[in-house]
């Protein structure tokens, strides 16, 4: 069975207290999802300076790291489909991260790039590939699996017409490194998300889903900016993407709407997206 999950980052603004977090998890379950994907930096205490730095970049969030997430998740009856972690932290605190994954009953440790890596330089991407292979071998010995989660930054061309993401796919060993594919970010970058999905094939173990479109009322005569949308409310061909992902045997389809939520509410947003998830996943 393919699980339907929500990425914890989506509810980051409504988990400031135990009661808020409990209510958010209950809303996820009640909407028809059966899983959650956790973020290491949201289930562990963060220094106030880090929270303020994130907020300064335009991303609102609550830490939530002081909460008892083990009990919260257990009470919610949601299955943990994976945990996002930082690559440097994985090397520095391997035993702790392995223990955390086992505590939550998941085999998947997911590394995400964004600000941490340089995707403009071929050698830097090759070095990252080598580090991912090393981390994957390390986790494989512990009975866990390393997945890499893409954004749009990997779609920069670094070797002729080859993107950094293509280089990562070629240079990582499928025995130790596989992928959590996010179709929103290639679409945002003007890339064919379905082509990338087919390139990954069965190396795609998890699928991150979001829609992209416009939340504009009234007429406009100017160019408008597209953004994150609830599933089925935007312009992406999500049915084809979901069917393709299912055909490759993904274990879970995970919703992550980053911002621009309906009614300015991440909960209302995931509730609206649940209709598509419940019909097509």
**Which residue segments constitute the domains of the chain, with CATH numbers given?**
3-280 (3.20.20.150)
Chain segment 81-92, per-residue pLDDT in tens: 999 999 999 999
**For residue 47, what pLDDT band results from cuts at 50, 70 and 90?**
low
**CA–CA distance, 108 with 191 (Å, rounded to integer):** 27
How sure is the predictor about 216, in pLDDT bands with cuts at 50, 70 and 90?
Answer: confident
Q: Per-residue confidence at 168, pLDDT binned at 50, 70, 90? A: very high
DSSP 135-150: HHHHHHTTT-EEEEE-
Strand-pair category, 227-229 with 211-213: antiparallel
HSE (side-chain half, CA atoms, 13 Å) at 5: 26
Rounded distance, CA 65 to CA 74, Å?
Answer: 16
The band of 65, judged by pLDDT with boundaries at 50, 70 and 90, is confident
- pLDDT score at 33: 98
| Average pLDDT of every residue of the chain | 93
Q: How confident is the model at residue 49 (pLDDT cuts 50, 70, 90)?
A: low
Could you tell me what percent of the chain has a pLDDT over 70? 93
CA distance 7 to 252: 11
By percentage, how much of the chain surpasses pLDDT 90?
Answer: 83
Report, in this order, helix, strand and coil percent for the chain, each rounded to 5.
Answer: 50, 20, 35
Residue 115 has pLDDT above 80, yes or no: no
For residue 218, give both structure tokens: 């009234």
């Amino acid at each position: 069975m393919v699980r339907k999950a929500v990425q914890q980052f989506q509810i980051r603004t409504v988990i400031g207290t135990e009661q808020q977090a409990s209510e958010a998890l209950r809303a996820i379950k009640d909407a028809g999802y059966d899983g959650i994907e956790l973020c290491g930096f949201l289930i562990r205490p963060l220094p106030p300076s880090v929270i303020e730095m994130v907020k300064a970049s335009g991303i609102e969030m609550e830490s939530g790291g002081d909460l008892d997430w083990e009990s919260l998740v257990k009470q919610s009856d949601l299955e943990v489909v994976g945990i996002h972690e930082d690559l440097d932290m994985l090397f520095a605190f391997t035993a702790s991260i392995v223990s955390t994954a086992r505590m939550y009953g998941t085999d998947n440790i997911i590394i995400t790039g964004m600000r941490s890596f340089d995707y403009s330089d071929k050698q830097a991407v090759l070095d990252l590939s080598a580090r991912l292979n090393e981390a994957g071998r390390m986790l494989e010995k512990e009975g866990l699996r390393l997945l890499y989660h893409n954004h749009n930054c990997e779609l920069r061309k670094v070797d002729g017409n080859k993107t950094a993401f293509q280089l990562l796919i070629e240079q990582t060993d499928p025995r130790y490194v596989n992928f959590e594919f996010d179709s929103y970010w290639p679409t945002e970058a003007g890339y064919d998300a379905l082509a990338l999905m087919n390139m990954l094939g069965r190396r795609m173990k998890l699928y991150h889903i979001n829609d992209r479109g416009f939340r504009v009322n009234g007429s406009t005569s100017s160019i408008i900016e597209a953004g994150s949308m609830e599933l089925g409310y935007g312009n992406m061909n999500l049915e084809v993407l979901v069917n393709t992902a299912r055909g490759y045997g993904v274990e879970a389809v995970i919703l992550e709407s980053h911002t621009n939520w309906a009614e300015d509410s991440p909960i209302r947003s995931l509730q609206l997206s649940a209709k598509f998830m419940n019909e097509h996943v």
